[in-house]
Amino acid sequence: MFVGAGLLASLSPRVERIAGRLPRRVFVLTSPEIWALWGEAFSASFAEPPIALFLPPGEKHKTLGNAEKLTRQVVSAGGDRSSLLFAFGGGIVGDVGGFVAAIFMRGIRYVQVPTTFLSQVDSSVGGKTGVNLPEGKNLVGSFHHPLAVFADIDVLGTLPERELRAGLMESVKAGIIRDRTLVRFMEEHVDEILDRDPRALEKVIAASVRMKADVVNRDERESGLRMILNFGHTLGHAIEQVTRYKVLLHGEAVGWGMIAALQLAHRRGTISSRQAERLESLIHLYGPLPPLKLRAAKLVAATGADKKNMGGVRRFVLPVGIGDAGVVEDVTAAELESAAAFMLARAAERRA
């Protein structure tokens, strides 16, 4: 994983250093918008520009049908076992690109060049690839690790502000569950980070990636430790589901979910009230989180469908102090509902 400014300018030689001479066919999966903004910079270091394949933006295009279509485009453009694919875009392009690379001829090499904050700190790390089904998100997929990940900070310059703030919630999460230095850094450098100061962003991205890579390396297939990455996601996913993925960005839902989880942790005594307040303030520093108008009971019902609740056990990630977390399996529906009610009250205060 490479994090820094100006990486695109030397992309091709950097990849050759890792993978050897580039193969006959090099592909880049991207979206039309990103290509219009950054396509020239992307191609600049290649002797022969990669063959561009396009996926329109939006979760509704992350489908098996499009994965098939793209795979067929690779075939008709002369792709073979030796071909190399770049996934150049946000998490959607990354997930679909990785999946196409995983299934084409049982797997070809690929490189992630993530362009959203979220994809730089989260989705490009860990090797999960996949697409959605009408029945649910990410239901078809595969583990397929990229040769390398290049997170170019310059590219974030054109990212909409709301996408940046939402992505930063995953870094707040990273700090809370595993890195108190990151928590402190994010508290002390809010303006630089939101102004996209390259050095500040580089620090936050590198720390977030280090955290996730470390957790994933210790628990590749998600049996135990990896579960802590779901901090804030139990109610976060519930909010997304109840609002049909139309109202909030993922990171925003996770922001609210973390506020609920902090309250639950405080009730259980794994964090003090001062710590809970401090962390909640940190979340709001990178807000504003959009308002919510939901019912707590409905959210709790939606967590029942959370695929992470294996075998009927309600697994829940609780922070322990600042920079540590654990998983408990005995959280009751009543506890969840009261945490959700607390969160909704907070959301109502902020609307007032």
Ligand X SMILES: NC(=O)c1ccc[n+]([C@@H]2O[C@H](COP(=O)([O-])OP(=O)(O)OC[C@H]3O[C@@H](n4cnc5c(N)ncnc54)[C@H](O)[C@@H]3O)[C@@H](O)[C@H]2O)c1
User: Among 158, 217, 272, 332, which residue sits at the site for ligand X (rule: CB under 6 A)?
Assistant: 158
Which x/- pattern over 95-134 shows residues binding ligand X (rule: CB under 6 A)? Answer: x-------------------xx-xx--xx--x-x------
For 297, phi then psi, to 5°, come to: -60, -35
Instruction: For the CB of residue 112, give the shortest distance to ligand X in the complex, in Å.
Output: 10
Active site residues: 106, 128, 170, 212, 222, 226, 230, 233, 237, 250
314 binds ligand X (CB under 6 A): no
Beta-bridge partners for 28: 52, 86
Q: Which stretch binds ligand X (CB under 6 A): 68-76, 84-92, 237-245, 283-291?
A: 84-92
Q: If 0-12 CB within 10 Å is exposed, 13-18 middle and 19+ buried, where does residue 349 land?
A: exposed
Determine which residue in the list 42, 53, 55, 62 makes contact with ligand X, applying CB under 6 A.
62
Q: Quote the least distance from Cβ 349 to ligand X, whole Å.
A: 27
85 DSSP β-pair partners = 27, 110
Binding flag, residue 254, ligand X (CB under 6 A): no
Name the token pair of 312.
């009927």
**Member of 70, 92, 186, 260 binding ligand X (CB under 6 A):** 92
Question: For ligand X, which stretch binds (CB under 6 A), given 85-93, 195-203, 265-273, 311-319?
Answer: 85-93
Least spacing, CB of residue 177 vs ligand X, in Å = 15
User: What residues are paired with 240 via a beta bridge?
Assistant: none
SS3 call for 29? strand
Taking the complex as a whole, the smallest distance from the CB of residue 78 to ligand X amounts, in Å, to 28
Q: Which of 8, 11, 22, 34 binds ligand X (CB under 6 A)?
A: 34
Q: Binding string to ligand X for residues 161 to 200, with x set by CB under 6 A, is what?
A: --x-------------------------------------
- The answer to whether residue 138 forms part of the interface with ligand X (CB under 6 A) is yes
**First-to-last C-alpha distance (Å) of the chain:** 43
Three-state secondary structure along 95-159?
HHHHHHHHHHHHCCEEEEEECCHHHHHHHCCCCEEEEEECCEEEEEEEECCCCEEEEEHHHHHHC
Enumerate residues 6+ apart whose C-beta is below 8 A from 275: 266, 321, 322
Break the chain down into helix, strand, coil percent, rounded to 5.
Answer: 55, 15, 30
CA angle at residue 168 from 27 to 67, to 5 degrees? 30
Task: Find, among 350, 336, 142, 177, the residue nearest to 257 by Cα.
Answer: 336
Near ligand X by CB under 6 A: residue from 40, 59, 277, 329:
59
The closest alpha carbon to 319, from 117, 179, 126, 145, belongs to: 179
Q: How far is CA 63 from CA 53, 171, 262, 309, in A?
A: 15, 28, 35, 25
When asked if residue 57 is in the footprint of ligand X (CB under 6 A), the reply is yes
Shortest distance (Å) from residue 282 CB to ligand X: 20
Q: Least distance to ligand X from the beta carbon of 24, Å?
A: 29
Position among 3, 53, 159, 211 found at the interface with ligand X (CB under 6 A): 159
- Which CB, 59 or 277, lies closer to ligand X? 59
Residues forming the site for ligand X (CB under 6 A): 31, 33-34, 37, 57, 59, 62, 89-93, 95, 115-116, 118-119, 122-123, 126, 128, 137-138, 155-156, 158-159, 163
